[in-house]
Structure 1
Amino acid sequence: MTASSSALSQERTAVADVCRRLGAEGLLIGTAGNVSVRVEDRVAITATGAVLADLTPEQVTVVDLEGKIVAGAFEPTSELDLHLGVYRRHGTGAVVHTHAPNATAVSCVLDELPCIHYQLLALGGTIRVAPYATFGTPELAESVLTALDGRSAALMANHGAVTHATTLDKAVEHALLLEWACGVYQRAASMGRPRALDEQQQLAVIEAAIARNYGTTRPVPPAQEENR
């Protein structure tokens, strides 16, 4: 089934809304960064040169999975190949790339962000740093795709961060979580060498999260409600 360009009007609006939110959160500055969402065989993606914190739906371009423009008045971001590569390799639904300050700072120093807090397990654990390559190049796209194997996030050396998820809202949550974790790492590193969770500790967290259905709201059981 093919998604028509008109069917992506809602997604173009959603991408613009997300960019303005990320700008307000301080994860985007000026024209640096890009966001996309996939609907079947179409991708709504930010236009190159657009000021993302003020993005409008008209500044979101629609392309097919080969990168051909099917709707929109502006050329898509220079990182189009990266976004399309994530969709092809990881079968995801949305991609967020930022130059968020904490994530970018960490990407200038570390080869990987260790799992210093159990919430990083939501992104897959330790976050790899893709080797530096010039923006918009196939070399950069390939290195980031490799860094994303088994992960929902990656850092890009001396560049920024990328996250992906099944939905646009989830990809944004991942971007915010990664930025928070990078900030925690920096604060911890200023006091000493940060401790990382080992494999056994990480496994225990996963088991506890599954057993407790962690991260979801649950009503009070009837028996406990009666005893209140």
Structure 2
Amino acid sequence: MAEQRRDAPGSDGTDGGHRAGGAGEAGPGGAMGTAWAAEAYGEAAAAWEALVATARRTVADGLVVGTSGNVSARVGDLVLVTPSGVPYDRLTPADITGVDLTGRQVVGTLVPTSELPMHLAVYRTTDARAVVHTHAVHATAVSTLVTELPPVHYMAGALGGVVRVAPYATYGTEELARNMLRALDGRSGCLLRNHGTITHGATLDQAYDRTAQLEWMCRLWLTASSVPGLTPSLLTEAHMAEAGARLKGYGQRR
């Protein structure tokens, strides 16, 4: 569901969005509170710049259309999120938008993404520092066909194992967030039935890479399973476990 900017309470089924600028709030549009020292604000500003770059990348790489996805990053107890219904190429440093872990807006004046419950659920239950949600076409197609993505490639091990599909629930609801958490148990990514993908990671780059890999694996399965008279070979649980263990040490070591 493409997000819309909300100017009145409840226009997309949520609480209408908090407006920053009250006592003790901080950031553009708000007063600098005691919890927001210059150093903390500088860290958040840098994270916002990286978040916007990641959001724009989801559009450039065809993982979302318009404002249909959302991205977030955690800085301490602050969660920076893309705002609802604002094209990513229009976002500026002054548009920084952030909430605390209860969902109360503490930075900025733009209404946060309507999918905030999913993002907050991930941060409350994992050590993730970034979340990427998309409506990638191949992944969304797969979410309508199966209850889990058949293990056609070992990169599923990078997400913790066979990728599950969370049951459908209306976007932006706590029910969807609960369904997502069950599908994410022991995983860093899952599909959302008739909706899209969600992944998390220690960094924005890692969360984004997991999203891109998930979309690629969905495309791979759709391609292989479309060949008449043939059925794709699938990996076993042992194959997946071995690949997952090896992938933990993948890449450069600092």
When the two structures are superposed, what TM-score results if normalisation uses the length of structure 1? Answer: 0.87
**Contact 1:58–1:73 (CA under 8 A) maintained in structure 2:** no
Say whether residues 1:172 and 2:172 are aligned partners.
no
2:122–2:128 Cα contact (<8 Å) kept: yes
- The 1-side partners of 2:141 and 2:89 are apart by 21
Conserved in 2, the CA contact under 8 Å of 1:37 and 1:94?
yes
TM-superposed deviation, 1:7: 3.1
Taking a change above 3 Å as real, the CA distance of residues 35 and 118 of structure 1, as seen in their structure-2 partners, is same
Identity %: 46
Q: Distance in 1 between matches of 2:224 and 2:156?
A: 15
Give ranges in structure 1 of 5+ residues lacking alignment: 219-228
Asked if residue 128 in structure 1 is aligned to residue 164 in structure 2, the reply is: yes
1:197 aligns with 2:235: yes
| Structure 1 residues 174 and 207, CA gap change in structure 2 (3 angstroms) | closer
Which of 105, 111, 117 is residue 141 of structure 2 equivalent to?
Answer: 105
Higher strand share: 1
- Specify which structure has the higher proportion of helix: 1
1:27 maps to 2:63: yes
Amino acid at match of 1:172: Y
Indicate the SS of the match to 1:28. coil
Cα distance in 2 for residues equivalent to 1:54 and 1:26:
18
Superposed displacement of residue 73, structure 1: 1.8
Aligned counterparts of 1:57 and 1:102: Cα–Cα separation in 2: 33
Q: Matched residue pairs, number? A: 214
- Alignment partner of 1:134: what SS? coil
Q: How much has 1:69 moved relative to structure 2?
A: 1.1
Residues 5-53 of structure 1: CA deviation (Å, up to 9, x unaligned): 4431111111111011111100111110110000110011000011235
> Residues 91 and 209 of structure 1: is their aligned pair in 2 closer, same or farther, counting only changes over 3 Å?
closer
SS of 1:11's equivalent in the other structure is helix
Secondary structure, aligned partner of 1:112:
coil
C-alpha displacement at 1:101, in angstroms?
0.8
Given the alignment of the two structures, is residue 8 of structure 1 paired with residue 44 of structure 2, yes or no? Answer: yes
2:156/2:240 contact within 8 Å kept: no
1:154-181 CA distance string (max 9 Å, x none): 1000000000011111000101100111
- For residue 72 of structure 2, give the secondary structure of its aligned residue in structure 1: strand
Classify the secondary structure of the residue corresponding to 1:126.
coil
Listed one character per residue, the Cα deviations across residues 116-172 of structure 1 (whole Å, up to 9, x for unaligned) are 111110011211000000000110011001110100101000000000011111000
Runs of 4+ in 1 over 4 A off after TM superposition: 206-210
Find the aligned partners of 2:117 and 2:167 in 1 and give their Cα distance: 17
Residues in 2 aligned to 1:150 and 1:127: alpha-carbon distance in whole angstroms:
10
CA RMSD in angstroms, aligned pairs only: 1.8
Match of 1:221 in 2: none
Contact kept, 8 Å, 2:155 with 2:243, in 1: the verdict is no
Q: What is aligned with 1:42?
A: 78
Letter in 1 for 2:132: V
Contact 1:103 1:179 in 2 (8 A): yes
**In structure 1, what residue type is equivalent to 2:128?**
T
The residue aligned with 2:121 is 85
Q: Give the C-alpha shift of residue 206 in structure 1.
A: 4.3
Match in the other structure for 2:251: 216
**Alpha carbons of 1:56 and 1:202: their partners in 2 closer, same or farther (altered >3 Å)?**
same
TM-score in terms of structure 2 length: 0.79
Q: 1:207 to 1:44 in 2, by over 3 A?
A: closer
Would the alpha carbon gap of residues 157 and 8 (structure 1) be closer, same or farther in structure 2, given more than 3 Å must change? same
Partners of 2:45 and 2:245 in 1: CA distance: 41
**Per-residue displacement from partner, 1:100-125 (whole Å, max 9, x unpaired)?**
11111111111110221111100112
SS of structure 2 residue aligned to 1:113 = coil
